[in-house]
Amino acid sequence: MAYLFTSESVSEGHPDKVADQISDALIDNFLAFDPESKVACETLVTTGQVVLAGEVKSNTYLDVQKIARDTINKIGYTKGEYMFDGNSCGVLSAIHEQSEDINRGVDRATKEEQGAGDQGMMFGYATNETYNYMPLALHLSHLILKELATLRHESNEIPYLRPDSKSQVTIEYSDDNVPQRIEAIVISTQHDNFDDEEKMLKKIKEDIIGILIPRVLAKVPDDIRALFTDKIKYHINPTGKFVIGGPHGDTGLTGRKIIVDTYGGKGAHGGGAFSGKDPSKVDRSAAYATRHIAKNLVAAGLCDEVLVQVSYAIGVVEPMGIFIDTYGTCPFNITDGEIAQKVSQIFDMRPAAIEKRLKLRQPMYSETASYGHMGRENKTVQKTFEQPNGEKRTMDVELFTWEKLDYVDKIKEAFDL
């Protein structure tokens, strides 16, 4: 019997994502001037206020207030009427030096012997139902909000948009797990005040369906476009008025959108957030590494869908184990346990090896902090950072290295595909 599956996304202006972006902007600035920085930075945002807290071990000094304000302004919180804007909000820093008890478990005589920054389990997932090997419902939820943000930043077609928004997409699947159609799309977008609430709701619904959705359709391949039928149930700002939003409407915290950040409820999640953590924290680095493994396994044709788990003990170099679940989609005479054994031989999952393989000591994290960490485009960009003393550093940074399909040939060779 057919079934429905739903995923959601939130925009860069959602309060939790504002917090994530500030935390990751701090990570990038620390890494730009000291690539060996150890950072765990949490951010809280609320009406007119930003609170930074965490632990840092670094040889560089940053103007954390300016970084937070610049991030907020870039998102679009630039008006006093939002009750939260980058130029006037208070920024309180309670960042202090990293605990020596934690650091002693990570640092070693050689980089290769670096222990895991914490215990825990991390999951990676991939499916061939989309071109970027991501679950379709989450992919579309992200795409809807990215296009909405582009309209807000770059176009006057919908001039009343404000930064905060959420989306949700429900897909109908067949018994054999193939997407059949889109059942429902939910979009809630913050907006300027209207005198007439009834006219406001009508206008927003018309613009979302008539302007935003065609832009989304133009960005997807034909097979996905075919799922957009005239039977989709649209719920546009279903609660009505959405003028009060962002950190004024709801307090935001780093790390509260871990399912939005990963696979939209598909696969599994180990529970650890990503933003605000340097790559010695395996919550982040190993989650990227398992996504890299999963994507390459599916792209190599070994299976249609796969979940990869790795686990660590704090201060211990080698992982506790690797687990593979292909959900019965591997067409070859090989068990998931045998796949896991070969994967452990192909991919070095020691923390330092992951950092090196995926180039994780770059200032590459601001781009991950909204619209998902997985399924993104691997590309190189030029970024410039500035210290309080005026020193500037410009560098080429490779983004989303865990999305590369650079191990497909090795996997095919290992499994005789």
| pLDDT greater than 70 at residue 203 | yes
Confidence of residue 114 (pLDDT cuts 50, 70, 90): confident
Answer yes or no: is 158 within a domain.
yes
Question: What is the per-residue pLDDT for 276?
Answer: 97
Give the residue ranges of the annotated binding site: 14, 16, 42, 55, 98, 164-166, 241-242, 250, 256-257, 273, 277, 281
Structural contact between residues 186 and 165, judged by C-beta atoms closer than 8 angstroms:
no
Decide which of 48 and 114 is more confident.
Answer: 48
397 and 298 both lie in a single domain: yes
Q: Are residues 220 and 293 in the same domain?
A: no
Does pLDDT of 100 surpass 90?
A: no
What pLDDT digit, counting tens, does each position of 405-414 carry? 999 999 999 9
Beta strands in 31-153 (DSSP E): 38-46, 49-57, 90-97, 120-127
**Average pLDDT of every residue of the chain:** 95
> Residue 338 has what pLDDT?
97
β-bridge mates for residue 233, sequence order: 184
Q: Is residue 265 part of a domain?
A: no
Instruction: Evaluate if residue 159 carries a pLDDT over 60.
Output: yes
Contact between 190 and 13 (Cβ < 8 Å): yes
Q: Is the pLDDT of residue 23 over 60?
A: yes
Which residues line the annotated binding site for ATP?
14, 164-166, 241-242, 250, 256-257, 273, 277
Instruction: Among 54-63, 98-107, 187-196, name the one with the lowest average pLDDT.
Output: 98-107
In-domain check, residue 72: no
Q: Last residue of a domain, which of 227, 245, 263? A: 245
Question: What is the pLDDT, as a whole number, of residue 113?
Answer: 73
Residue 102 confidence class, pLDDT cut points 50, 70, 90: low
pLDDT at residue number 109: 58
For residue 5, give the H/E element and its range.
strand 3-10
pLDDT (tens digit per residue) in 68-81: 999 999 999 999 99
Q: Do residues 342 and 393 both lie within one domain? A: yes
Q: Are residues 295 and 363 in the same domain?
A: yes
Show the domain range for 174.
3-8+136-245
- Binding-site positions for K(+) read 42
Q: What's the structural domain count of the chain?
A: 2
pLDDT of residue 107: 60
| Interatomic CA distance for residues 230 and 352, integer angstroms | 51
Does residue 36 form part of some domain?
Answer: no
For residue 199, what are its two tokens? 């006219």
Sheet holding 321-325, edge to edge: 120-127, 305-312, 321-325
Provide the sign of the torsion angle of the four alpha carbons 138, 140, 145, 149, taken in this order: positive
Same domain, 288 and 385: yes
Predicted confidence (pLDDT) per residue in 211-226, tens digit? 999 999 999 999 999 9
Is the pLDDT reported for residue 111 higher than 80? Answer: no
pLDDT for 106 beyond 90: no
Overall average pLDDT of the 241-246 stretch: 94
Residues 224, 323 within the same domain? no
Query: Which residues sit in the known binding site for Mg(2+)?
Result: 16
User: In this structure, is residue 39 part of a structural domain?
Assistant: no
| Apex 217 CA angle, 164 and 166, nearest 5 | 15
Q: What pLDDT, in 10s, does the model give residues 171-182? A: 999 999 999 999
Query: Same structural domain for residues 342 and 291?
Result: yes
- Collapsed DSSP state (helix, strand, coil) of residue 337: helix
Q: Let me know if 171 is exposed, middle or buried by CB neighbors in 10 A (0-12, 13-18, 19+).
A: buried
Residues 176, 227 within the same domain: yes
Q: Do 296 and 232 fall within a single domain? A: no
Q: What percent of the chain has pLDDT over 90?
A: 91
Instruction: Please report whether residue 107 resides in a domain.
Output: no
Query: Binning pLDDT at 50, 70 and 90, where does residue 97 land?
Result: confident
User: What is the domain-level CATH number for residue 210?
Assistant: 3.30.300.10
Q: Which residues are annotated as a binding site for L-methionine?
A: 55, 98, 250, 281
% pLDDT > 70, the chain: 96
H or E element: which one contains 171?
strand 161-173
Q: Does residue 292 sit within a domain?
A: yes
Last-in-domain residue among 196, 221, 245: 245
Asked if 401 and 304 sit in the same domain, the reply is: yes
Which DSSP category does 90 fall into?
A: E
* 403 and 292, same domain (yes or no): yes
Residues 387 and 341 in one domain: yes
Residue 164 lies in a domain: yes
Q: What is the pLDDT of residues 296-321, one digit of tens each?
A: 999 999 999 999 999 999 989 999 99
